[in-house]
């Protein structure tokens, strides 16, 4: 590893840090619902992890897309916003005032046959119908810090291949293979920001991760931002923010 990755510890007490804790993901493909479970617990929601996993949409090879995590939150009465950088799904011009994104997604689905795009499109149409919000804003430390200052943990889909500096993966067991392998996607939660060091606190359900036995570590924001943008390779490249709506707050209180 080229970057020094300090362990989350008392010497970083001046950093902004949200009390997000995660369980270990039960298998290689359940990082998404495990991160969502951690965000639910942050908001005081004690639903069991296995219940969330059981109802989550799963891709044929396992895993899911952030939009289906957002749909789950919306169905539970939360509000959800996705900041997307996935220009394979969204044309930047769709975010201009007056454009009906659902209509553009539907038209695109009619002319593009890529299976993963078709699945993602179905998810985004559901997300919009359920009241989810889509945002197109520059991914920067300013945006990350602003969301965290509003006490909002950030669930993000990114490239674990880049984040971990690991080998690409190949085959049904996702074995490391630097020649035949393909980039892998992953979900983590960003739960803190240290402006002086320009580090973010990553809460990571994967174990063992290359940064130690703990489920959290501080790492360069530049590394994380780049990993998020490279998540486009696996239809990730997004930030998902989930927070209670008024009715949900009343039920939790």
User: Is residue 1, in this structure, part of any structural domain at all?
Assistant: no
Average of per-residue pLDDT values in the chain: 91
User: Is residue 2, in this structure, part of any structural domain at all?
Assistant: no
Q: Is residue 49 pLDDT above 70, yes or no? A: yes
Which of the four pLDDT bands, split at 50, 70 and 90, describes residue 235?
Answer: confident
pLDDT given for residue 247 in this prediction: 62
User: Is residue 196, in this structure, part of any structural domain at all?
Assistant: yes
pLDDT given for residue 4 in this prediction: 42
User: Is residue 3, in this structure, part of any structural domain at all?
Assistant: no
Which of the four pLDDT bands, split at 50, 70 and 90, describes residue 80?
Answer: very high
User: Is residue 152, in this structure, part of any structural domain at all?
Assistant: yes
pLDDT given for residue 230 in this prediction: 97
User: Is residue 5, in this structure, part of any structural domain at all?
Assistant: no
Q: Is residue 227 pLDDT above 80, yes or no? A: yes
Our count of domains for the chain comes to 1
Of 5, 73, 4, 10, the C-alpha closest to 43 is 73
Which of the four pLDDT bands, split at 50, 70 and 90, describes residue 62?
Answer: confident
pLDDT given for residue 174 in this prediction: 84
Question: Which has the higher per-residue pLDDT, 2 or 209?
Answer: 209
User: Is residue 214, in this structure, part of any structural domain at all?
Assistant: yes
pLDDT digits (tens, 9 = 90+) for 146-199: 999 999 999 999 999 999 999 999 988 789 999 999 999 999 999 999 999 999
pLDDT digits (tens, 9 = 90+) for 184-203: 999 999 999 999 999 999 99
User: Is residue 168, in this structure, part of any structural domain at all?
Assistant: yes
Q: Which of 9-18, 78-87, 217-226 has the lowest mean pLDDT?
A: 9-18
Cα separations in angstroms, 121 against 62, 110, 128, 187 = 18, 11, 11, 19
Using CA atoms, how far apart are residues 193 and 99, in angstroms rounded to an integer?
34
What domain range includes position 126?
10-252
The CATH number for 94's domain is 3.90.70.10
- Which pTM was predicted? 0.91
């Amino acid at each position: 590893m080229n970057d020094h990755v300090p362990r989350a510890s008392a010497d970083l007490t001046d950093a902004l840090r949200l009390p997000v804790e995660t369980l270990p993901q039960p298998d290689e493909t359940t990082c998404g619902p495990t991160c969502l479970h951690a965000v639910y617990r942050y908001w005081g929601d004690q639903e069991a992890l296995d219940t969330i996993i059981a109802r989550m949409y799963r891709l044929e090879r396992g895993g899911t897309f952030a939009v289906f995590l957002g749909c789950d939150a919306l169905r539970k009465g939360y509000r959800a916003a996705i900041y997307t950088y996935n220009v394979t799904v969204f044309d930047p011009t769709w975010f201009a005032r007056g454009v009906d994104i659902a209509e553009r997604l539907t038209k695109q689905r009619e002319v593009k046959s890529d299976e993963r795009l078709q699945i993602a499109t179905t998810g985004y149409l559901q997300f919009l119908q359920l009241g989810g919000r889509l945002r197109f804003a520059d991914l920067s430390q300013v945006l990350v810090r602003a969301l965290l200052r509003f006490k909002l943990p950030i669930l993000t889909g990114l490239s674990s291949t880049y984040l971990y500096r690991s080998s690409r993966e190949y085959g049904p067991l996702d074995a490391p293979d630097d020649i035949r392998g393909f980039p892998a996607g992953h979900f983590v939660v960003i739960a803190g920001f240290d402006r002086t060091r320009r580090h973010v606190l990553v809460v990571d359900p994967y174990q063992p991760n290359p940064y130690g036995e703990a489920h959290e570590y501080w790492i360069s924001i530049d590394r994380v931002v780049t990993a998020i943008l490279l998540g486009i390779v696996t239809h990730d490249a997004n930030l998902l923010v989930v927070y209670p709506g008024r009715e949900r707050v009343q039920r939790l209180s």
